[in-house]
Amino acid sequence: MNLWTPYSRHLNKILLTICVSLMTCQKKAVVQPTHPLFILPAEGIVGKILFKEGNFNSDGEITDEGRIYGVQREILVFELTNLKDVEIGDGDFVNYISTNPVDTIFSDYHGSFVIGGLQEGVYSLFIKENDRLYGKLGDGDNFFPVRYQKDSVNKIMIEIDYLANY
Report which of 34, 108, 33 is spatially closest to residue 74, judged by C-alpha positions: 108
* Residue 40: CA count within 13 A, CB half-sphere: 10
Cα 21–chain centre separation: 20
Q: What dihedral angle (degrees, nearest 10) is formed by the CA atoms of 50, 66, 139, 49?
A: 0
- Asked if residue 70 lies in contact with residue 51, where contact means CB atoms within 8 angstroms, the answer is yes
Residue type, 157: M
pLDDT for 107 equals 96
C-alpha 56/C-alpha 28 separation (Å) is 35
Full-model pTM:
0.74
pLDDT for 23 equals 44
pLDDT for 61 equals 80
Report which of 143, 153, 127 is spatially closest to residue 71, judged by C-alpha positions: 127
* For residues 139-156, average pLDDT: 92
pLDDT digits (tens, 9 = 90+) for 1-25: 444 444 444 444 444 444 444 444 4
pLDDT digits (tens, 9 = 90+) for 79-130: 999 999 999 999 999 999 999 999 999 999 999 999 999 999 999 999 999 9
Q: Which domains does the chain have, with CATH numbers?
A: 28-165 (2.60.40.10)
Mean pLDDT rounded to a whole number for the chain: 82
Ranges of beta strands (E only) in the chain are 44-55, 67-70, 74-79, 86-88, 93-97, 101-106, 112-115, 121-129, 132-134, 145-148, 153-165
- Asked if residue 87 lies in contact with residue 9, where contact means CB atoms within 8 angstroms, the answer is no
pLDDT for 143 equals 96
pLDDT digits (tens, 9 = 90+) for 52-78: 999 988 887 888 889 999 999 999 999
pLDDT class of 50 with cuts at 50, 70, 90: very high
pLDDT class of 35 with cuts at 50, 70, 90: low
